Structure 1
Amino acid sequence: MSAQNAPVVIKRKKVVAGGGHHGGAWKVAYADFVTAMMAFFMLMWLLNATTEQQRKGLADYFAPTIAISRTSGGGDKVLAGDSLSSSERLSASGVDGASSTALPPLAEDLPRPPGEGAALAEVAALRDIEEVLLGRGGESLVAREALRHVVTRLTEEGLVIEIFARAGAPIFAPGETAPLPVTTQLLGLVAQAAALVENPVAVAAHLAARPVVLADNPVWRLSSGRADAAREGLVAAGLAPARMRRVTGLGDRDPSAEGPAAPRSDRLEITLLRPH
């Protein structure tokens, strides 16, 4: 075969240039990272900018077993009818604890013992008062600074509204039974919220323990006087006197979890009692 008729072989060499396009997967991963960091910093900001009650309200909002709307319905009174929040829990402690007793879900197709529906409606009504007072479902009746003196918890006995002293922010002047202006304001707002139901009311006053044991310890007279002053403040704010079930001065015998001498132990507990 001559050179003129020889086949022409063409070799094509694939050249890979460095620094070319490597795909867009890294952009998606980076975007996810930036989004996660933004969510993290928003969470840190919320934790720093909200009160304990507001944080609990946010947690309740995202809890899958709690209805967004807690409006009671199905009756001509607050304690009548069924509530959307019938799967609510009865908390056995305030913000310092998490133990609770779960209530059965309120379903129309499930048999219920007589009286259970009424009990669930009572719990729902007390929860409504708690939300109105603390503003979990909207605007609070209590100013932001005053709200720092208030915590609520729903117990087997009823809804406990606790008004407590903080470091540098007492609710009574030392050794006095007359409530300070912030306490008077809070008592008026508690009476306003309590007007939504007809439950009987119990008032108890607690004192922080004194560092020195005295032969004539004034905590009993002082706590009794403060409890009675709280009763008078509630009645003056519109609470019917006939609803008052008991007024108790407990001295320093039931301190808070922060310690017997802590300012937190100086407190009032106003309980909207569940009827038995």
Structure 2
Amino acid sequence: MEQKQPIIIRRVKKVAGGHHGGAWKVAYADFVTAMMAFFLVMWLVGIASKEQKAAVSEYFKNPSAVEGSAAIPGSSSLGPGGASDKLIPTANALSMPGGIGPKVGDPGEATRSRIPSEEAARAAAAEDRRQLDELRRDLEAAIEKSLALAPFKDQLLIDLTPEGLRIQIVDRLNRPMFDLGSARMKDYTAEVMHELGALLTDTPHRIALAGHTDETPFQAPRGYGNWELSSDRANAARRALLEGGLDEARIARVVGLASSVPFDRDDPRAPINRRISLVVLNRAADAAPDALASVPPPLPDAAPATVAVAPAFPAPLHAGHD
């Protein structure tokens, strides 16, 4: 009898997965919340005005228990918007009623006490130039009317430069301003300087003076040369202006430039290079110690806004002179 093979039945027991909880839901909710916050911030940045952005920046960068009123972020050693590093209240804060004014180091107060804005600076410079241009017209009119100045109007050159209103008194071939090789003024030169001193008494601007010589070598005992001569002539012009009524406090500086800044570059020995430059300084130039030396002389063929431009005369007939 044939033996039957046993039939083995294997039953697969299915076990249900364990309960994982809702941790993934929390993570997903955090992610969605973060994205909502991100897009909300981006939306607010897109629609906010400049003042509103500044106020938000101030709130986060300079928190305080007292509500502030600054519309733009202040500045400190940490950069714009940083908290103040001042420990002593400002005079304005102490002068407020009750002794309580702006917070110590209030960023708004620091901003308000800054230097004038660029717009204000430009407006001040424009007003400065307007005043000097008006002074130029007044001087031109006065020179035309003055009996003392009219004969010398071809030796008086007036123009506006970046440093202010420049008046140059130049030599002519047969009408020098000073004695030969000397700082002694001719009588008519002194009269011209007296008249200019009287005309410049009403302007509030300070004045810088420079003496110039031509390139002709000049040598006197003890090494006295064109540098010393140009300085002495500039000082002689200063004294003549004071005799004409100009207040000494109005003189900003007096320098001698010898032949380093020629008027006529083509002919360094031309009489027109021997001159006194008087600059009525604007506010910006008054603060710069080298303003006078930095003013380039006008070219003879393109002199700007002058009363009269003296031509470049031939070289002097004498030698060994300034």
Specify the TM-score bucket, using the shorter chain as the normaliser.
0.5 to 0.7
Q: Is the contact made by 1:166 and 1:264 (CA closer than 8 Å) also made in structure 2?
A: yes
Measured at CA, do residues 253 and 149 of structure 1 come closer, stay the same or move farther in structure 2, by a change above 3 Å? same
Q: 2:275 aligns with which of 258, 267, 272?
A: 267
What TM-score do the two structures reach when normalised by structure 1?
A: 0.55
Alpha-carbon separation, structure 1, partners of 2:185 and 2:134 = 27
Aligned counterpart, 1:160: 166
Matched, 1:183 2:226: no
Aligned counterpart, 1:245: 252
Alpha-carbon separation, structure 2, partners of 1:238 and 1:264 = 27
Deviation readout 1:125-146 (Å, 9 max, x if unpaired):
2122222222289745753211
Q: Is the contact made by 2:143 and 2:149 (CA closer than 8 Å) also made in structure 1?
A: no
SS in 2 for 1:135: helix
Q: 1:225 aligns with which of 226, 229, 232?
A: 232
Uncovered stretches (5+) of structure 1, i.e. residues with no partner: 1-111
Alpha-carbon separation, structure 2, partners of 1:179 and 1:212 = 18
Measured at CA, do residues 219 and 213 of structure 1 come closer, stay the same or move farther in structure 2, by a change above 3 Å? closer
Q: Is the contact made by 1:177 and 1:222 (CA closer than 8 Å) also made in structure 2?
A: yes
Alpha-carbon separation, structure 2, partners of 1:221 and 1:227 = 10
Matched, 1:209 2:202: no
Deviation readout 1:208-233 (Å, 9 max, x if unpaired):
11157899461111111111111111
Uncovered stretches (5+) of structure 2, i.e. residues with no partner: 1-117, 285-322
SS in 2 for 1:168: coil
Aligned counterpart, 2:138: 132
Structure 1 counterpart of 2:268, one-letter code: P
Greater helix fraction, Structure 1 or Structure 2: 2
Aligned counterpart, 2:124: 118
Structure 1 counterpart of 2:209, one-letter code: V
SS in 1 for 2:158: strand
Alpha-carbon separation, structure 2, partners of 1:137 and 1:216 = 39
What TM-score do the two structures reach when normalised by structure 2?
A: 0.47
Alpha-carbon separation, structure 2, partners of 1:167 and 1:245 = 31
Measured at CA, do residues 181 and 132 of structure 1 come closer, stay the same or move farther in structure 2, by a change above 3 Å? farther
Aligned counterpart, 1:254: 261
* Structure 1 residue 196, shift from structure 2 partner: 2.5
Alignment coverage as a number of residue pairs: 165
SS in 2 for 1:264: helix
Structure 1 counterpart of 2:245, one-letter code: G
Quick check: which has more Rg, 1 or 2? 2
Q: Is the contact made by 1:206 and 1:250 (CA closer than 8 Å) also made in structure 2?
A: yes
Measured at CA, do residues 260 and 114 of structure 1 come closer, stay the same or move farther in structure 2, by a change above 3 Å? same
RMSD: 2.5
Deviation readout 1:231-264 (Å, 9 max, x if unpaired):
1111111111111111001112111125210000
Q: Is the contact made by 1:202 and 1:245 (CA closer than 8 Å) also made in structure 2?
A: yes
Alpha-carbon separation, structure 2, partners of 1:159 and 1:235 = 19
Aligned counterpart, 1:105: none
1:189-204 aligned within 5 A: 189-204=195-210
